[in-house]
Amino acid sequence: MLVTCDPCDARRWTESTTSNRRVAIVPTMGALHEGHLSLVRRARALADEVVVSIFVNPTQFAPHEDLARYPRPIEDDLAMLEREGVAMVYSPSNDAIYPPGYSTFVEPPAVAEPLEGKLRPGHFRGVCTIVLKLFQTIPAAVAVFGQKDFQQALVVQAMVRDLDIPIHIDVAPTIREPDGLAMSSRNRYLSTEQRARSLCLSRALDACSQLAQENERSLASLESAMLDQLRPGQPDGADHVDYAVVVDRRTLHPVQQSISWQASDLVALIAARLGSTRLIDNRLLHSPPMTL
């Protein structure tokens, strides 16, 4: 496994490899867990060689966010990736990515505006910029992102389409703990007590999804079913709910109750806080099975 922090090295390796091998990239911020490893395995199924990037990207964190405390267990990460048969790990320094005088950014596509875009101003500008840069340095045929960051995957897909970047964006299913919590590097921030309460997110999505399958036609009911589980501010609920919405799964904009929608057009998305830890999760809704 080649481990490099040098963009020129990384590009040279990829260029020489892509001449006869199909390369997939899995962009990460490190602190790897089973969710990341599932992306790596999916990338291996889609390509001949897998590259993983590890970079805690400062431009996607707002000043008050958790950049400083974000976990960086690089030795553990490299050992895990070695075991997965990854061909190259690209782990650049901040200075290699944002040298003095750096000033070009990507203005993200429209799908970046609602939800995380509203709550985390500048977040997707940072995400788009680093992802575009990674795709220039590692000209892979395919990149694998996790569905857990649902809006991020839509934003990257729209950017790649708009900017004609020659890469396919594959979105892999969310991996969960046995009790339902979506895997996230931020889960390690949770105290035992918060960890127990964190299940309200997946329970809320279960409840919403169940109602949709039972052909509930009221979007307000689908959303209030989530809040019933999230119990914001209650001792057994989330400390704060940033959003818990059912929206169009392509645009992430609200669907008019009056127009004819199918549950399969919709996605339920949640962002909630437990203490100072912010968790997100989502679920694609499905229409009721056809009955004869």
The catalytic residues are 36
Q: How far is the CB of 25 from its own copies (least distance, A)?
A: 14
User: Residue 157: which of 138, 131, 195 has the closest Cα?
Assistant: 131
Helix axes 199-213, 219-230, angle to 10 degrees: 150
Residue 159 near its own copies by CB under 8 A: yes
Q: ∠ at Cα 44 (178, 74), nearest 5°?
A: 70
Q: Which of 108, 114, 117, 126 forms a contact with its own copies (CB under 8 A)?
A: 108
Instruction: Report the site for its own copies in 173-202 (rule: CB under 8 A).
Output: none
Query: d(Cα 47, Cα 54) in Å, to the nearest integer?
Result: 19
**C-alpha to C-alpha distances, 7 to 96, 117, 163, 246, nearest whole angstrom:** 7, 29, 21, 41
Query: Could you identify the residue written with the tokens 């008050």?
Result: 64
Query: Measured in Å, how far apart are the chain's first and last C-alpha atoms?
Result: 55
Q: How far is the CB of 109 from its own copies (least distance, A)?
A: 4
Give the count of residues interacting with its own copies (CB under 8 A).
29
The structure tokens listed for 55 are 């970079």
Query: d(Cα 35, Cα 109) in Å, to the nearest integer?
Result: 26
Q: Which of 95, 107, 179, 193 forms a contact with its own copies (CB under 8 A)?
A: 107
Number of Cβ atoms within 10 Å of the Cβ of 18 = 17
Number of Cβ atoms within 10 Å of the Cβ of 105 = 14
CB-nearer residue toward its own copies: 130 or 246: 130
Which range touches its own copies (CB under 8 A), out of 133-141, 179-187, 208-216, 274-282?
133-141
The structure tokens listed for 204 are 């809320």
Q: Which of 158, 219, 227, 244 forms a contact with its own copies (CB under 8 A)?
A: 158
Residue 137 near its own copies by CB under 8 A: yes
Which range touches its own copies (CB under 8 A), out of 37-45, 82-90, 159-167, 173-181?
159-167
Q: Which of 47, 106, 225, 266 forms a contact with its own copies (CB under 8 A)?
A: 106
Residue 260 near its own copies by CB under 8 A: no
Q: Which of 63, 68, 164, 290 forms a contact with its own copies (CB under 8 A)?
A: 164
Q: How far is the CB of 242 from its own copies (least distance, A)?
A: 24
Q: How far is the CB of 202 from its own copies (least distance, A)?
A: 32
DSSP state string for 8-47: HHHHHHHHHHHTTS-EEEEEE-S---HHHHHHHHHHHHHS
**CA 88 from chain center: how many Å?**
22
Residue 289 near its own copies by CB under 8 A: no
CB-nearer residue toward its own copies: 30 or 109: 109
Q: Which of 64, 75, 100, 166 forms a contact with its own copies (CB under 8 A)?
A: 166
Instruction: List residues binding its own copies (CB under 8 A).
Output: 7, 11, 19, 101-111, 125, 128-129, 132-133, 136-137, 139, 158-159, 162-166
